[in-house]
Amino acid sequence: MDRVQSIIAANRERYLAEFQEFLAFPSVSGDAAGLTGAVAWVADRLRAAGAQVRVLPTGDGPDVVFGQVGAGPRSLLSYTHYDVQPADPLALWESPPFEATVRDGKLYARGASDDKGDTLARIQAVEVYRAAYGELPLRVKFFVEGEEETGSPHLAPLAEQYADLLRADGVLWEGGGFDEAERYTLYCGLKGIAYFELRVRGANRDLHSAYAPVAPNPAWRLVQALNTLKDAQDNITVDGFMEHVRPPTEAELAYIRRIPFAGAQMKANWGIPAFIDDMDDEAALVRFLTQPTCTICGLRSGFIDEGEKTVLPSNAMVKLDFRLVPDLTPELVADLLRGHLDRRGFDDIEIKSFVGMIGARSDMAATVVQAAIKAARAVYGHEPVVYPNHGGSGPMYSLVQGLGAPGGIMAGVGYADVRMHAPNENIRLDDYFRHIEFLVAFMQRFATG
């Protein structure tokens, strides 16, 4: 790897300048100029790295940039995105969010970690590999989308439309990096999500609360309905829901038991005395990674301002999200929720569905997973922490299981204080350039593993 390190060192200033140029695009959802500029920039940079490039239109959304480079029997699909979160609140930024600034060995800008760092490091890694060893011994396919931050609404249909173009032997996903103890972390999947809004209506206007003995109260009705979705131990009690949850395999449980879990520190940071049902750390970690959720994200009804107002509200609303594990799907959860409420007489409760994604979890023995583990071990000098899946959600399923890939792995340039989605988002520059080295090692091992 000395040759690789030398090439990276020789190009460090150029690569940093490219990174700062990429970060200057305000590619926030709704900023047509910023998104369009980022599309053209990514396409041109891929071409400069030797890729054949196509721009895949989504119709009414930002385009996807697709590029392919290399040759060989095995193919790798790289998923990243060029869209970023809004920079608000601007007053909390110590330097302009779209003027990438280096301070104390860190690069500060919106998108530095999420996800322009991952995107460009992979393109530059291809360039480094070709300079060090010649043509890539595998086909690397780049899929760079522009609406991940708004739920990737066009990704699933695009994956179906361009299945033959996108299908690969493994998928390299965005995300990952160093944890609080400076251990490199890899994730083999993501939870899915189903998001709903439930509404109940009563009288055609708010009433004086004196009418409570005779007029229906939608707030009480909604509370009564919600009370049927979970029991006192926080178990989900939606009819048939848990019957569709695939239990973790012994191999997955073995990896989970190796994961360092700072439960006491986590509880202290959150200001809570105990986890639900006073679970110990091992039980909490297994539950966090392998179990679905049903979460009340927000409730609204009646008078909620300071002071008092004796009112019987005319409507009530709750927002719910379900984090999904295999084999739950958003459509299945919607059907189960509707049936569960109807069977209890809550057929008057309106359900509106929002974003939905299927969860993805890869076989820990998949070649792409093992290649990432071996590369991380070689480059970072320690055993990486491997998670069966991340606790968050994303559209991984459509490009992995949905296209028949044996597995996917999340590996990125992050660390514990990247401040993703917050003011002063940043990455450590040494991490960035070391990650390029990791990517070269990963491609070598995946091509031959």
- Quick: pLDDT tens for 348-401: 999 999 979 999 999 989 999 999 999 999 999 999 999 999 988 889 999 999
Asked if residue 323 and residue 181 are part of one domain, the reply reads no
Residue 57 belongs to domain spanning = 2-188+362-448
Q: Is 280 within the bounds of a domain? A: no
User: β-pairing, 75-81 with 139-145?
Assistant: parallel
Kindly give, in sequence order, each residue whose CB lies less than 8 Å from that of residue 116, ignoring residues fewer than 6 positions away.
Answer: 19, 22, 23, 82, 84
CA angle 29, 17, 52 (to 5 degrees): 65
Q: Is 412 within the bounds of a domain? A: yes
State the pLDDT confidence band at 122, using cuts at 50, 70 and 90: very high
Kindly give, in sequence order, each residue whose CB lies less than 8 Å from that of residue 372, ignoring residues fewer than 6 positions away.
Answer: 172, 186, 384, 409, 411, 442, 446
What pLDDT, on a 0 to 100 scale, did the predictor assign at position 1?
64
The CB density around residue 210, as the number of other CB atoms within 10 Å, is: 10
Task: Give me the helix-helix angle, 2-10 and 116-133, nearest 10°.
Answer: 120
On the question of pLDDT at 140 being above 90, the answer is yes
Q: How far apart are CA 261 and CA 417, in angstroms?
A: 18
Asked if residue 302 and residue 170 are part of one domain, the reply reads no
Q: Is 306 within the bounds of a domain? A: yes
Cβ-in-10-Å burial (0-12, 13-18, 19+) of 111 comes to buried
Q: Is 71 within the bounds of a domain? A: yes
Q: How far apart are CA 236 and CA 238, in angstroms?
A: 6
CA 341 to chain centre: 30
Q: What 3-state class would DSSP assign to 199?
A: strand
Asked if residue 371 and residue 295 are part of one domain, the reply reads no
Which of 357, 389, 408 terminates a domain? The answer is 357
What pLDDT, on a 0 to 100 scale, did the predictor assign at position 225?
98
What pLDDT, on a 0 to 100 scale, did the predictor assign at position 203?
97
Cα torsion 294, 296, 301, 305 to 10°: value is 170
> Alpha carbon of 201 to those of 217, 272, 335, 399: distances in Å?
8, 35, 21, 41
Asked if residue 93 and residue 17 are part of one domain, the reply reads yes
Q: How far apart are CA 434 and CA 334, in angstroms?
A: 44
Asked if residue 165 and residue 197 are part of one domain, the reply reads no
* Single-letter code of the amino acid located at 49: A
Asked if residue 315 and residue 372 are part of one domain, the reply reads no
End-to-end Cα spacing for the chain: 18
Q: Is 64 within the bounds of a domain? A: yes
Domain count, the chain: 2
What pLDDT, on a 0 to 100 scale, did the predictor assign at position 266?
87
Asked if residue 135 and residue 13 are part of one domain, the reply reads yes
The CB density around residue 233, as the number of other CB atoms within 10 Å, is: 7
What value does the mean pLDDT of the chain take? Answer: 96
Q: Is the peptide bond before 327 cis (omega within 30 degrees of 0)?
A: yes
